[in-house]
Amino acid sequence: MTRWLLVAAVSAALAGCAAEQLPQQVGATAAAQLPAGVTLVETYTPKAGEIGIPYRKYRLANGLTVLLHEDHSDPLVKVDITYHVGSDRELPGRTGFAHLFEHMMFQGSEHVADEQHFKVVTEAGGELNGTTNSDRTNYFETVPSNQLEKMLWLESDRMGYLLPALTEQKFEVQRATVKNERAQRIDNRPYGRMNERFEQAFYPVGHPYSWPVIGWPEDLDRTTAQDVKDFFRRWYGPNNATLTIGGDIDVNQTLTWVNKYFSDIPRGPDVTPLAKPLVTLDKTRYVSMEDNIHLPLIQIGFPTVYARHKDEAPLDLLANILGGGKTSILYKNLVKDGYAVQAGASHPCQELSCKLTVYALANPAKGSALAPIEKLIRQSIDEFETRGVTDEDLQKVKIQFRAHSIFSLQSVSGKVSSLAANQTFTGNPNQIGNDLARYDAVTKDDVMRVFREYVRGKPSVVISVVPKGGEALVAAADNFTPTKPAIADKAVMGLSAAALPEHSSFDRNVMPLAAKAPVLKVPELWDAKLTDHIAIMGTQSTETPTTELIVYLNGGHRLEPLNKSGLAALTADMLNESSAKRSSEDLAQALELLGSSVSFSASDYQSVIRVTSLTENLDKTIAIVKERLLEPGFKDTDFNRVKQQTLQTLQHMASDPNYLANEGFSKLLFGSDNSLGISSGGTLQTVAGITLADVKAFYAEQYRAGNAQMVTVTDLPEAQLLAKLQPLTAWQGTAMPLPAAGSLPESHPGVVFLIDKPGAAQSVISIGKRALPYDATGDFFKTYLMNYPLGGAFNSRINLNLREDKGYTYGARSFFAGGSELGYFEATASVRTDVTDKALAEFMKEISHYYANGMTPDEQAFMRASISQGKALDYETPYQKAGFIRMIQKYQLPHDFTAEQDKIIAQISIEQLNQLAKQWLDPASMQMLVVGDKSKIEAGLQALGYKVVNLPL
């Protein structure tokens, strides 16, 4: 995805026009009503027809910036606190602090007990997390709106009173957790270490981006608890933070609470911006690495500017032309012709630096060597100068950026994140208008100028990632070796004697009570028939002028023959290609010019068509849906390319331990004679046997109107929406019955099945059994309630044991999953290789104890509060609403089925829940699978007393 799309999609509505100051009289009145020490900085309300996020901006005397955004469309509120500190504030040899602190901030503070932060938010029905990148760290909670004061109590306590609760033991546990996260997300993932190697070659020695955000392992090892405390004192003051609150709030009451909880926290040391010198290279640097992969990868990066530089926008457009999808030069020259399975270009930007990157995954069917791929990439870059920039290139930028800006306004979460990020990095929360204007102003000459200034003939960094033993495949021999910078004497520079909070004006040990619970707003639904065969269910949502339409076709993987597994997915992929009238590139161009998306996919029980459109462009978008659906091209050239890509992707996925675990566990539970035991994506053997004739035959069976149901969320009234869908009434065909389900295998409890993954950095453990199919108010729903304290919440028994107490994993969980015919129970985690046997034993201990004794009354109360209040978060975005509608439609549920669920949650007894544990969690019935390095883990598993059996895939 190019930078200009990424900004819009991830940073939400990057707002524009300078904020409007309050009229003097209104401003004076408002200022007089403000709490002491609070200043109103500005207020902004979009003008008619303007895309923007209304907000009020305040500043406390201690320097804390506060942004408030009212949105009463749903009874929820999001609280975000962003600290302007990321890994860029670390020092050489002292890396990983910012990310480690993201973990430490959840471990309790002076007035909040250990693990209480997670418990309080979850019990309130909320969601929470924190993230760290190179430039900032943020923490956020989304909760029912009656829980807001409690969230401010939590956030303020860890801002002002964290250090008294920071113990050596907590530090060691979280250091182990970070190491597990690194092992899971980087070391045990294909290409996981590529960026670290690339950045070392790309940036000068000691540059803040030359080390990974998660830190180097050896740096984490040398870190002390005192280092962590010093890092907190240096960077986590209120004057380096932005508190953003959005949703169903009362502004005056919210500001009063903010002042109460945050005003007595003293400001921290002053923070000055980092310099932004442009990165330069003296020559092209080649680096390479071997990895447990199948597809060789090449990435080329050119240094450019930094975020919000005047050349950022034209560079984004240049990247889009080079490699932004099916209309790009790289797609035409590498993917379309089969030299690469994937290829693309992007222009990712950070606060201090941007880079224009091009990548390609070589297609081994045409050769795995990367030197020819690099040559094709360089030729494609040269081709741009001849091709130039078209009027349509510029038009797409304007339309797509506007569309993504509108889509990003669909959730309070997106709006709050946008306001927070823009305030942090620019001092102006509202950048939508500015961004729309700067992309709208890009000219053809601008794009050609930045191409010549930053790309044409310029030095770059070229990294080759090849399979183990594939050194001969690299693009060129390495000519660069990174220099290790000297280790900084101190972990933190510029630390002054920060003031400690004085005695609070209130008792911080008392957690605020929640206000009266808000009334949940379940969408009002309508039912209709588009034709005699096609039922449609929808709701009107006027928050944004957009339409979400999803077509579900009963069948999917379940409809295809077992020996043709992957046929449903391959057919969907073909429907994303050419029609009988236009090429896939022409169709992609048409959608880009509308700011719309139309995608076909398939899963276990259904094929799906998802349509997302600005309502103003819905007519033209539906015309493309009709063309793709009723007039598919099914061209030999498309089929051969798509099939080859699928085969290579399957072979690539076999290098991922998590994929192997999913496939192996499905096979263990459901066997090879049932579709649920085989991936909906198929296997190398089944996909290899699929022909274009098979695709056409499956299309004829699957894509019938009689198999289809539709759901929609739109700003249009029902009648107007149905009128716009009339072109699809030409769709015909009766329903196709599903074939008989295959037989199920014998279970093998008490046996550990082992899939060997030599060199795996972690082991993936899966424990479980076949269980109930889905139902909304019966025993399946009740097993969800029963499992919640065991493994369904962050502070569940399993996660607290394996992650927080033992430090074995980055996260562990258990759950019941149910389809329309069958379901299963699974407990799973990725764990350190050296504790695979101990982790398995702890899993079984927790399951056994829960089976024998059930949940406690406190756990039952926690479950009730968390799940019942959490429903306030379920229907916010159009896609969430569409998912809710689909459950009603698919399972023929009453529109108010959630009321029955509420009754069950409130009335189900602890005896009923514990009886369900007795029924479904017998440890003697559990099957066990481990994916890991057999040479390192087999003996330990055998020592537990289990028979270990190799499981081939």
Whose tokens are 């380096």? That residue is 240
Same domain for 305 and 432?
A: yes
Q: How far lies 875's CA from each of 709, 794, 872, 878, in Å?
A: 20, 22, 7, 8
- Residues 6+ positions from 257 with CB-CB distance below 8 Å: 148, 149, 152
User: Which of 455, 473, 491 is where one domain is finished?
Assistant: 473
Give the number of other CB atoms < 10 A from CB of residue 610: 16
Alpha-carbon distance 41 to 67, whole Å?
A: 10
Q: How does residue 854 score in pLDDT terms, banded at 50, 70 and 90?
A: very high
Mean pLDDT of 903-911: 96
Same domain for 859 and 920?
A: yes
Helix axes 168-182, 97-104, angle to 10 degrees: 120
CATH assignment at residue 818? 3.30.830.10
Q: Tell me whether residue 500 is in a domain.
A: no
What's the structural domain count of the chain? 4
pLDDT of residue 742: 92
pLDDT of 98 above 80: yes
Which residue type, as a one-letter code, is found at position 216? W
Q: Tell me whether residue 623 is in a domain.
A: yes
How many percent of the chain have pLDDT more than 90?
Answer: 81
Same domain for 601 and 726?
A: yes
pLDDT of residue 13: 28
pLDDT of residue 5: 30
pLDDT of 21 above 80: no
- pLDDT of 180-203, one tens digit each? 888 888 988 899 999 999 999 999
pLDDT of residue 2: 34
User: Which of 473, 492, 507 is where one domain is finished?
Assistant: 473
Q: Are 286 and 476 in contact (CB under 8 A)?
A: yes
CA-nearest of 372, 520, 616 to 74 is 520
pLDDT of residue 8: 30
Per-residue burial over 500-513, b = 16 or more CB atoms within 10 Å of its CB, e = otherwise: eeeebeeebeeebe
Q: Tell me whether residue 332 is in a domain.
A: yes
**Mean pLDDT, the chain, integer:** 92
Q: Tell me whether residue 487 is in a domain.
A: no
Which of 167-171, 322-326, 365-369 comes out lowest in average pLDDT? Answer: 167-171
pLDDT of 281 above 60: yes
Mean pLDDT of 299-326: 96
- pLDDT of 541-594, one tens digit each? 998 999 999 999 999 999 999 999 999 999 999 999 999 999 999 999 999 999
Q: How does residue 774 score in pLDDT terms, banded at 50, 70 and 90?
A: very high
Two tokens, residue 534: 């096609």
Same domain for 296 and 245?
A: no
pLDDT of 533 above 90: no
Cα distance from N-terminal residue to C-terminal residue, the chain: 34
Same domain for 204 and 57?
A: yes
pLDDT of 353 above 60: yes
Mean pLDDT of 469-480: 97
- pLDDT of 247-261, one tens digit each? 999 999 999 999 999
Same domain for 802 and 891?
A: yes
Same domain for 67 and 153?
A: yes
HEC sequence for 376-431: HHHHHHHHHHHHCCCHHHHHHHHHHHHHHHHHHHHCHHHHHHHHHHHHHHHCCCCC
Same domain for 459 and 579?
A: no
Same domain for 255 and 292?
A: no
Same domain for 675 and 774?
A: no
pLDDT of 735 above 60: yes
3-state class of 298 per DSSP? strand
Alpha-carbon distance 945 to 434, whole Å?
A: 65
pLDDT of residue 263: 94
Can you give the residue range of the structural domain that contains 580?
526-730
Q: How does residue 19 score in pLDDT terms, banded at 50, 70 and 90?
A: very low
- Residue 798 C-alpha from the chain's centroid: 23
Q: Tell me whether residue 478 is in a domain.
A: no
Same domain for 845 and 703?
A: no
What does pTM read for this prediction?
Answer: 0.91
Mean pLDDT of 533-543: 93
Taken in order 811, 814, 820, 821, the sign of the CA dihedral is positive
Higher pLDDT, 31 or 925: 925
Q: Tell me whether residue 413 is in a domain.
A: no
How many percent of the chain have pLDDT more than 70?
Answer: 96
pLDDT of 600 above 70: yes
Alpha-carbon distance 41 to 826, whole Å?
A: 52
Mean pLDDT of 191-217: 95
- pLDDT of 779-831, one tens digit each? 999 999 999 999 999 999 999 999 989 999 999 999 999 999 999 999 999 99
- pLDDT of 487-512, one tens digit each? 998 888 888 765 667 777 889 999 99
pLDDT of 12 above 80: no
Q: Tell me whether residue 888 is in a domain.
A: yes
Q: Tell me whether residue 402 is in a domain.
A: yes
Compute, in degrees rounded to 10, the torsion defined by CA atoms 384, 387, 391, 396: -40
pLDDT of residue 32: 54
3-state class of 442 per DSSP? coil
pLDDT of residue 498: 58
CA-nearest of 133, 213, 160, 610 to 417 is 133
What length is written for the chain? 953
Same domain for 694 and 595?
A: yes
